[in-house]
Amino acid sequence: MLSNIWNIVLYHPLINALAFLVSIIPGGDVGVAVIILTILVKLILLPLSQKSIESQAEMNILTPELNKIKASGASKEEQARLTFDLYKKHNVNPFSGCLLVLVQIPIIFALYYVFYKGINFESGFLYSFIQAPEHANMIFLGILDITQKSLVLAVLAGVSQYLQAHFMPKPVLTPSGSNSALSFSESFSKSMNMQMKYIFPFVVAFIAYSISGAVALYWITSNLFMVAQQLYVKREKNFKMVIK
């Protein structure tokens, strides 16, 4: 039952979209189609991912005020009330970013699955109005075979993942000069950021190399899109702060 829903709602539409792109791209370059499809999916999810990044940036701006509430010595109930009032005042939902990310995960995973499973347009998944491409060229730009492992693309996938983590909005931690130690949530956030920046890129590069160049292309395109989006949000936030 779940597999049928997965196929009908996510996998089949994506593999059909990929087949359509390959059929209209000159030379049937599947690598170019992978890049275009990844960008199209990212554009569809743009409102959700944009809101998620903005929510994280807004939470970071409020962190100094939240630290003041924690250091006020008020009771837990009073701190909770003051925190709620602060979120209400600035119209911030601390859980919105997480919820929006959860909505995106199945779609992003389905796109990854299309390339992980292997690109096959003869599997019977194509809609009646989608013709199987007459020529599917698996040699990306005439240089790299994306059905095989590619060290070059795997390294680029790892580098792009590092850049994506580097430009991700960072949580503002308690100042090092203060007497209060980092809270559990702050320590956890700091640890997660370190792992995302310095460990996960190697994991991505390893997976990309272990599977195929198509997966690596997906990761590179997705990460670079996120970098551009994060830089845009940062510029907009800085511009609004200057205006204020």
pLDDT digits (tens, 9 = 90+) for 194-214: 777 778 889 889 988 888 888
Is residue 92 predicted with pLDDT exceeding 50? yes
**pTM for this model (two decimals):** 0.74
Mean pLDDT score across all residues of the chain: 78
Number of domains in the chain: 1
Domain around 176: 2-243
Q: Classify each residue of 163-174 as buried b or exposed e, where b means 16 or more C-beta atoms within 10 Å of its C-beta.
A: bbbebbbebbeb
Over the stretch 94-148, which tens digit does the pLDDT of each residue have? 665 565 556 667 877 787 888 877 777 776 788 888 888 888 898 998 898 988 8
Is residue 31 predicted with pLDDT exceeding 70? yes
pLDDT band at 93 (very low <50, low <70, confident <90, very high): low
d(CA 199, CA 181): 25
